[in-house]
Structure 1
């Protein structure tokens, strides 16, 4: 079984060596461990540091494309290199490298398709009170919308089986974490979490400039992902709400009409009719969106088949490539540690 640990990076040349030194060299149930750096348009020597430290796979973006695109690039690279399990972690040392064995274990044993590293947000000493509250609230929303039982939805420390990685198609440009969970939950993938250790942040987050901006972008991501997989429910619900609101002014007009006092209340009829029209149109949009969502499912099924066909075609190439042994990889990292 082959594990590839991927690390999205943006100007991490200074901290990357320490992060790489703490990555595990062996894990029970895993035959081969390799590393993948996604250099997301760094202006420093991130890629050079990764090469000097013997990282087997390096993906470089010519310019910064954001965390979601870096994650996508890493997943594609890991899949093409034959990974059976993919672990995503950060370069800034927030997560404890030794805990990779903990999040990989449920995937190795087949108990889960995805395992999330739970940072115990509620009592994490490295988080302020405001951040703990926002994290818990956000995780509750994602947990509800994704129909999963994950208490730390935005943790980027996660292990993913090959099958799950092939089925997930990240569509957001901001952060993959919530989009991935909502997709996985709606696709009935087995998701679990395990408690992990964290370290204090060494620098401000590069993902967002302010908490309000983070809330806005995360909210848009969650709404888009949920609507994508529940379009009929969302649009029909909105349509029924508009229709219900339209009934009240029409009923008001009819009441005055029956009692002989309809003069001067025509505006109620106009408002009610407009709301009923909006309700019908939104419901029709829901039906169309559901048909599009059904078409998306068919396209994703075809994409999965194509990926597996490509794998079979690439297998002769993979078997012909000489792979470094675990001992060689260990000695290479020890020389640099």
Structure 2
């Protein structure tokens, strides 16, 4: 059994050595433990620091492509290198490397496809009050969208089985954390959370440049993924709202018409027609989206089979 620990990096020369020093060389249940760094177009000597500190594999993007792209590049590289389980962590030493066995044990036992480390957010001193509340709110929204019980959705400290890794697809370039959970939940993968420890803050987060920006991007990600995986439910919901409003407006006009006073309420007829048309259009968009989603599922199955064939050859 091979475990590969991957770390996406962007200009992490100052903190990478500290993070690597925390990583285990041996983990119970695995005969081989290897480290992989994804250098996402760093302009410092991140790759050189990685090699000096005993990293087995370094994959480099010629330009910065974003955290999500770096994550998926690492997943692809780990699969090609024969990883049975992949652990993803951060280069800023936010997560405690000694907790990696907590993540891998449920995967090895066959109890989970993805295990996500849940940080003690309420006790994390360098998180502001508003950030703690938004973290909890965001995790709740992801739980609803993904139908899972993930306690800390933005956590990047996670273990992924080989089969789950081959099924993951990330469309958003901003971050992989929320999207992969919703996608996995909607695809009926087994996801669990385990409590983990965190280390002292070494540098400010590069992903959360401002609370408002992070909230907007996170909400957009959740909405987009939900539209991709549940288009009929999404568009039918809003279509029903417009249709209901149209029916109310039409009923209002008929009431006045029966009272012999419909002459001055022609605007209700116009509003009724517009709302019902909009509702029908939204419902049709949902039907079309559902057909596209069905094709996407078939393509995902084909892609999974192709990956099985490709990695068997490797």
| TM-score normalised by L of structure 1 | 0.91
CA–CA distance in 2 between the matches of 1:279 and 1:113?
39
Match of 1:78 in 2: 78
Asked if 1:210 is matched to 2:210, the reply is yes
Residue 226 of structure 1 and its aligned partner are, at CA, apart by 1.2
8 Å CA contact 1:126, 1:199 repeated in 2: no
Correspondences of 1:4-19 after superposition (within 5 Å): 4-19=4-19
**Structure 2 unaligned residues grouped into runs of 5+:** none
8 Å CA contact 1:122, 1:136 repeated in 2: no
The secondary structure found in structure 1 opposite 2:135 is helix
Match of 1:103 in 2: 103
Correspondences of 1:82-161 after superposition (within 5 Å): 82-161=82-161
**Structure 1 unaligned residues grouped into runs of 5+:** 315-337
8 Å CA contact 1:96, 1:196 repeated in 2: yes
Match of 1:324 in 2: none
Match of 2:169 in 1: 169
Residue 30 of structure 1 and its aligned partner are, at CA, apart by 0.8
Superposed structure 1 runs of 4+ greater than 6 Å apart = none
8 Å CA contact 1:246, 1:274 repeated in 2: yes
Asked if 1:303 is matched to 2:300, the reply is no
Match of 1:268 in 2: 268
Q: Deviations over 1:275-304 (max 9, x none)?
A: 000001110110000000000000000000
Asked if 1:254 is matched to 2:254, the reply is yes
Match of 1:38 in 2: 38
Would you say how many aligned residue pairs link Structure 1 and Structure 2? Answer: 314
Residue 262 of structure 1 and its aligned partner are, at CA, apart by 1.2
The secondary structure found in structure 2 opposite 1:135 is helix
The secondary structure found in structure 1 opposite 2:101 is helix
The secondary structure found in structure 2 opposite 1:13 is coil
CA RMSD of aligned residues (A): 1.0
CA–CA distance in 2 between the matches of 1:225 and 1:9?
25
| TM-score normalised by L of structure 2 | 0.98
Residue 28 of structure 1 and its aligned partner are, at CA, apart by 0.9
